């Protein structure tokens, strides 16, 4: 199986390759620029000497003047040890030549009757020396003498040696620069990918006992900030879910322990002595009540488990809220009467939903309001069917503390457990109501102030 390269190695190779390409291009540009500078410098010198020879030839008006041409050109070249010049007359006759002046035939092959300068410099080697030369054909003032060829050359050996040394040094420096760029690229990549290693470390160390670790967003680059934020949110959801699951399991154990303990204690006490049939019947009736409570609790927990996995699918039908709530008020009328609580209903509204499920949700809220209403109080049920259909259930009584409001829909949660005996329920009613309303794409909220507690159910849409 082919081994995959790490991101660090890939970026390091990319940095190195990019640096090599850039440095090669830069080195080539610098070398060509220096060489071109030397060439321009030599061309200026050679053109100057060509002009000097032209000036000298323009002053030759007789054959006797040709004899003085050599002395004039020799004097002009004094101090220029690296320069060579030759002047060729008709038939290749040498009119003037510096010592050791050897020019290649390619440079001396210019012909013509008018002034003509070669189009480019010619470079050649002569022994251990390198020369760059220029030639020109120019007329002479003597009418019976054809134009002469003037060739000028300069020794560029020192230029070539300097350029060679410069090129070698330059390529060494650039090679080291490319290597240094690759090393620095590796360091920068390792440092830049540190947030990814932090994410990997936190993922590796995440366990049931360590769900509170988070990635520090202030040190995360902007490209990874969204990923880190989503990762932190995921950890927060896991932590919250595990906390809720732990609390749920603890609450289940606590809630089931009481009825099971009652059943076991009552059964052991009954079996300890012989009883009459009526005594056994009374114990069985008592056990039935506890078993019925256990059955309801198990049924409610199964319902909530389905809700958590999105398995509650309402059957949509037209639901008349006023009619359903009227029947619920009649059903809970006896309980309200026993607690000296008055029930009032106002408003009307129609929604699309599962009638049985909505009836259960609103019944749980209404039952909760009756239980927590003070004697002589009023429970008001208000239906608002205008823009968005909503149901408000208000009761007077003890307020719910602000820090407890966010948890009233938690399973098994009771704001004041000491005030609610086990017979009043397991604390799952509001959690079930919330799951049902959410399954209908609605919202349910609680508020409590000024001696009034209000639960508001808001549906996503109504039927006009």
| pLDDT digits 0-9 by tens, 387-413 | 789 999 999 888 888 888 888 887 776
Could you say which DSSP state residue 210 is in?
B
Q: What pLDDT score does 256 carry? A: 74
pLDDT at 197: 76
Tell me the two tokens of residue 132: 């760059």
Q: Tell me the percentage of the chain whose pLDDT exceeds 90.
A: 11
Res 463: pLDDT: 53
**Of the listed ranges 115-129, 185-199, 234-248, the one predicted with least confidence:** 115-129
User: What is the reported pLDDT for 456?
Assistant: 93
Span 27-51, average pLDDT: 86
Q: Residues 320-367: pLDDT tens digits?
A: 999 999 999 999 998 899 999 999 999 999 999 888 889 989 999 999
Between 79 and 147, name the one with better pLDDT: 147
- Dump pLDDT digits (tens) for 44-73: 888 888 888 888 887 776 666 666 777 777
State the DSSP string of 79-125: T-TTEEEEEE-GGG-EEEE-TT----HHHH----SS-EE-SS-EEEE
pLDDT for position 424: 52
Give the pLDDT score at 416: 54
Rounded to whole angstroms, how far apart are CA atoms 141 and 65? 10
Which residues are CB-neighbours of 394 under 8 A, at least 6 positions away?
A: 369, 379, 380, 382, 452, 453, 454, 455
Q: How many other C-beta atoms lie within 10 A of the C-beta of residue 229?
A: 13
**Cβ-contact 396, 376 below 8 angstroms:** no
- pLDDT at res. 322: 92
Mean pLDDT within 249-274: 79
Cβ count near 5 (within 10 Å): 11
CA separation (Å) from 81 to 155, 335, 415? 9, 127, 110
Query: Residue 59's closest CA among 145, 142, 151, 149?
Result: 142
């Amino acid at each position: 199986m082919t081994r995959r390269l790490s991101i660090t190695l890939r970026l390091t190779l990319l940095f190195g390759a990019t640096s090599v390409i850039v440095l090669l291009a830069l080195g080539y540009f610098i070398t060509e620029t220096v060489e071109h500078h030397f060439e321009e410098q030599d061309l200026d010198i050679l053109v100057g000497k060509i002009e000097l020879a032209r000036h000298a030839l323009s002053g030759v008006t007789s054959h006797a003047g040709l004899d003085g041409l050599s002395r004039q050109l020799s004097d002009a070249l004094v101090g220029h040890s690296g320069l060579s010049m030759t002047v060729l007359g008709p038939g290749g006759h040498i009119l003037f030549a510096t010592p050791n002046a050897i020019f290649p035939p390619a440079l001396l092959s210019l012909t013509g009757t008018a002034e003509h300068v070669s189009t480019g410099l010619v470079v050649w080697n002569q022994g251990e020396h390198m020369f760059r030369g220029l030639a020109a054909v120019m007329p002479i003032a003597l009418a019976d003498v054809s134009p002469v060829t003037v060739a000028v050359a300069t020794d560029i050996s020192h230029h070539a040696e300097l350029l060679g040394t410069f090129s070698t040094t330059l390529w060494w420096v650039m090679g080291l620069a490319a290597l240094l760029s690759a090393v620095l690229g590796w360091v920068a990549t390792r440092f830049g990918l540190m947030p990814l290693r932090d994410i990997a470390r936190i993922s590796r160390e995440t366990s049931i006992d360590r769900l509170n670790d988070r990635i520090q967003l202030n040190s995360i680059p902007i490209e990874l900030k969204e990923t880190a934020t989503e990762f932190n949110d995921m950890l927060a959801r896991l932590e919250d879910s595990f906390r809720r699951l732990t609390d749920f399991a603890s609450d289940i154990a606590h809630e089931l322990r009481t009825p099971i303990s009652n059943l076991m204690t009552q059964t052991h006490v009954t079996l300890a002595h012989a009883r009459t049939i009526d005594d056994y019947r009374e114990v069985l009736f008592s056990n039935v009540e506890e078993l019925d409570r256990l059955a309801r609790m198990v049924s409610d927990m199964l319902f909530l488990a389905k809700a958590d996995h999105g398995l509650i699918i309402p059957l949509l039908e037209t639901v008349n809220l006023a009619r359903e709530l009227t029947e619920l008020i009649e059903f809970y009328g006896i309980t309200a009467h026993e607690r000296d609580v008055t029930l009032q209903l106002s408003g009307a509204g129609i929604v699309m939903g599962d009638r049985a499920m909505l009836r259960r949700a609103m019944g749980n809220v209404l039952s909760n309001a009756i239980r927590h209403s003070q004697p002589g109080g009023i429970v008001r049920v208000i239906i608002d069917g205008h823009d968005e259909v909503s149901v408000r259930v208000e009761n007077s009584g003890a307020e719910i503390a602000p820090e407890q409001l966010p948890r009233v829909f938690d399973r098994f949660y009771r704001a004041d457990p000491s005030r609610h005996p086990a017979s009043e329920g397991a604390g799952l009613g509001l959690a079930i109501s919330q799951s049902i309303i959410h399954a209908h794409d609605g919202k349910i909220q609680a508020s409590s102030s000024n001696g009034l507690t209000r639960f508001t159910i808001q549906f996503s849409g109504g039927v006009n």
